Structure 1
Amino acid sequence: MTNNTNGPGEIFAQISGKLNELLDNKTQIAEDVKHNVQSLMASGLSKLDVVTREEFEVQKQILERTRQKLDDLEKLFEKLDK
Structure 2
Amino acid sequence: MKKALFTLLPLAIASVPPAAIAQKEIPKAPGHEQCPLGYVNTLGTTCVSPIYYEVAPTYGKACKSGWMNIGAGYCKKKTLGIF
Q: TM-score, normalised by structure 2?
A: 0.28
Q: Point out the structure with the larger helix share.
A: 1
Greater Rg by CA: 1
Q: Point out the structure with the larger strand share.
A: 2
Kindly indicate whether structure 1 or structure 2 has the higher relative contact order, using CA contacts under 8 Å at least 6 residues apart. 2
